[in-house]
Structure 1
């Protein structure tokens, strides 16, 4: 039996009643463009647009909701999709995939994103377990020197060093891992991605919603970063702040990965972020703009380690 437009509208309203308070309603939602005739799909996409999801993510959730309905044999407006199977993600656990990148600790703890090698060394010596060098330059020699300096700066501290973007320099310097944004990931040829994998570097990937999580899962990275959770002035974001409700949903979907929440997170917001179950929180201004950066590292680290159960950097 095919549902009428009225039935589909009622299904969409049921989804909004079940999840509107959690996600919030968009002030002026865009009109959904449909690529399938499935009734659950159409209802879910209409609802997701009303909940403020961008088109590509609304499409992703709608298709997952249709798959969930087909799998269960019934439509349930209260059951927000969280199964990787329904999203078309890989079935095998990451550790069993032949294309998986080297694993990293499930609980990465406090994750400091830092502008230069001096800051990475300073935070590593202050006990931050995971640091990322986000060095911005178009000078290849300067990049190479800064990456090598960062590797030297964290040596002996136990800190895990990820290099943002500059994967060739990271391989040459022997860094622990590389972090890539979606555009960086899309720009890599398969053989270049393979070079990072074969070198044994861990790979972290930034995601800003469902579609990007599905895209990242396709390459079996070491961890997923999810954000921006809250507004941030550090960089122009392509999407609006995701908020805690979406972060919670994302964490459920990607639970087999180590997860890093990022974007506008400070000491006050930290407990609510950790309550979603993520095992790591990335910060920038909360450290580098603090009057006492080392003190901020200790304070934030203790909160995260207590909430995630990290012991001895594990």
Structure 2
């Protein structure tokens, strides 16, 4: 087998172009002495992956090499088996949601939920910020009422108890929200039939999400965003494409700083949904903005179908 340094150099040379814009990250302490593991850990750190994600990739590279019998620098690891993801059908899983959730509007209150649902947006999320329990319950109930008869799927950010009471379609949680759930909470959420979406920001969090078996996985932030302080750097299109390939058995939502002009390149990665905030709530005409964004997603779907038909043609 080649030396550790030569394998690391081969990985970096092969994939550097896909991950431009990331400064090298400190190499974490190794947990194994396998040459492929050490090479991939070194290379992925040089490509800018933070320690937990570099560790995940190094283990996947090692697993693939053991599974196939040879080291390969060219293909990026994307086989769920090499990452230890749940095999299909997943033993732990929440109720399913559509594979492609389309335009996903993240909205500040029930009034916005009503407006975007009436505009035909297929997936909406209420992200209502308040510490007043009564106000939260009222806003969640109003949002559930607002989507009745529209066909829109409503996810509630964070406030899962109120979502259960009001009969929402699903909830969306961040990694910190997931930390706060007890095993009994997770069991309650599964048994009540709520769909669950989870935010992730890299490989380690994706693996953690998979262990829960959510209905969909959100990937981001793809581009810089001013809406919230992010602990991780924007992931970019190159990483998003790799994430989407690994999580191909999950519905995926791309989120974070995505404007209309970036829809084509985001959708080209294979994700089935794009979440937007400012592109709607800051638009001069939000209804028209929603119509245009949904049109971009529909155009991408038609192009995928045409390409698939061309491949099947004799």
TM-score, normalised via structure 1 length:
0.94
- Check conservation: 2:24, 2:45, Cα contact below 8 A: no
Q: Which moved more, 1:42-51 or 1:25-34?
A: 25-34
- Check conservation: 2:65, 2:71, Cα contact below 8 A: yes
- Check conservation: 1:93, 1:256, Cα contact below 8 A: no
The CA distance in 2 between the partners of 1:159 and 1:264, in whole Å, is 23
The CA distance in 2 between the partners of 1:73 and 1:223, in whole Å, is 33
1:281 partnered with 2:274: yes
- 1:246-261 aligned within 5 A: 246-261=239-254
The CA distance in 2 between the partners of 1:198 and 1:20, in whole Å, is 45
- Check conservation: 1:133, 1:161, Cα contact below 8 A: yes
1:115 partnered with 2:108: yes
Match of 2:178 in 1: 185
Match of 1:67 in 2: 63
The CA distance in 2 between the partners of 1:109 and 1:267, in whole Å, is 14
Q: Which residue, 129, 138, 158 being the options, matches 2:131?
A: 138
What's the RMSD between the two structures over aligned residues? 1.5
1:37 partnered with 2:30: no
The CA distance in 1 between the partners of 2:123 and 2:22, in whole Å, is 36
The CA distance in 1 between the partners of 2:21 and 2:222, in whole Å, is 17
Q: The residue matched to 2:71 in structure 1 has which SS?
A: coil
Compare the two structures and name the one with the higher helix fraction.
2
- 1:52-63 aligned within 5 A: 52-63=48-59
The CA distance in 1 between the partners of 2:21 and 2:65, in whole Å, is 24
- Check conservation: 2:27, 2:41, Cα contact below 8 A: no
The CA distance in 2 between the partners of 1:176 and 1:32, in whole Å, is 41
The CA distance in 2 between the partners of 1:62 and 1:188, in whole Å, is 29
- Residue by residue, what CA displacement relative to the aligned partner does 1:127-156 show, whole Å, maximum 9, x if unpaired? 000000001111111110110010011111
- Residue by residue, what CA displacement relative to the aligned partner does 1:66-103 show, whole Å, maximum 9, x if unpaired? 00000010000112110111001111234xx3x32111
- Check conservation: 2:61, 2:77, Cα contact below 8 A: yes
Q: Which moved more, 1:185-194 or 1:230-239?
A: 185-194
Match of 1:87 in 2: 83
Q: The residue matched to 2:131 in structure 1 has which SS?
A: coil
The CA distance in 2 between the partners of 1:126 and 1:16, in whole Å, is 46
1:205 partnered with 2:201: no
Displacement of 1:26? 4.0
- Check conservation: 2:30, 2:38, Cα contact below 8 A: yes
Aligned length: 304
Displacement of 1:28? 4.6
Q: The residue matched to 1:191 in structure 2 has which SS?
A: helix
Displacement of 1:161? 0.1
5+ residue gaps in structure 2? Answer: 306-314
Q: Which moved more, 1:212-221 or 1:32-41?
A: 32-41
Displacement of 1:24? 2.2
- Residue by residue, what CA displacement relative to the aligned partner does 1:196-238 show, whole Å, maximum 9, x if unpaired? 1111110000010001010000011100000000000000111
Match of 2:162 in 1: 169
Q: Which residue, 43, 46, 56 being the options, matches 1:47?
A: 43
Q: The residue matched to 2:80 in structure 1 has which SS?
A: coil
Structure 2 CA distance for partners of 1:194 and 1:81, relative to 1, 3 Å? same
TM-score, normalised via structure 2 length:
0.94
- Check conservation: 1:25, 1:50, Cα contact below 8 A: no
Displacement of 1:39? 0.7
- Residue by residue, what CA displacement relative to the aligned partner does 1:145-170 show, whole Å, maximum 9, x if unpaired? 11001001111111000000100000
The CA distance in 1 between the partners of 2:194 and 2:275, in whole Å, is 20
